[in-house]
Structure 1
Amino acid sequence: MSKKLIKIILKILLLLFLFYEAEPQMSSNLIYGNDFRFSMVKPAKYYYWKCLDKNCGYHSKKHESYNEVARYAVEHSNKYRHPIEVFKK
């Protein structure tokens, strides 16, 4: 498979994953009137990374996308050879 086709497939899978996470959670008690719109609001979740090295212990600021946080985390890991952890809060 060509690299372009693989990139397209990965982008489609990423979009499907993001759409799946953004689906509203329907609640059985929010059926009537305008209460439906409140069931579609979800709290914001951000991505963070932290260095697991004892002497460093760096914590990142919040990032909205996983790609952005992963780029900074891998850059830190490659530069200092420290183990890192990426997580969502």
Structure 2
Amino acid sequence: MEAYKFETTVEENGVIRIPEIARFALRNVEIFLVFESTEHPPEMERERRVEQFLDKWTGILKGSDPDEAKHDYLRGKYT
């Protein structure tokens, strides 16, 4: 098995140009895509959003009793 590494960019229309591709004519190849890391990988971005949400809303109901709130809601609805 031979291995070659090329660094290139995927064009807007989805085409990937490989330099010196003509020398591989009529050969079966296997292609792997390895993306360069971005500033914030998607997993880290999601974790960051969860942390921001928790920072914003943690403690908003602190000191309230959920059962009491349910009781008040039902009493107001059915009386």
Q: Normalization by structure 1: what TM-score? A: 0.25
- Structure richer in strand, relative to its length: 1
Higher relative contact order (CA 8 A, sep 6+): 1
- Structure richer in helix, relative to its length: 1
Q: Normalization by structure 2: what TM-score? A: 0.27
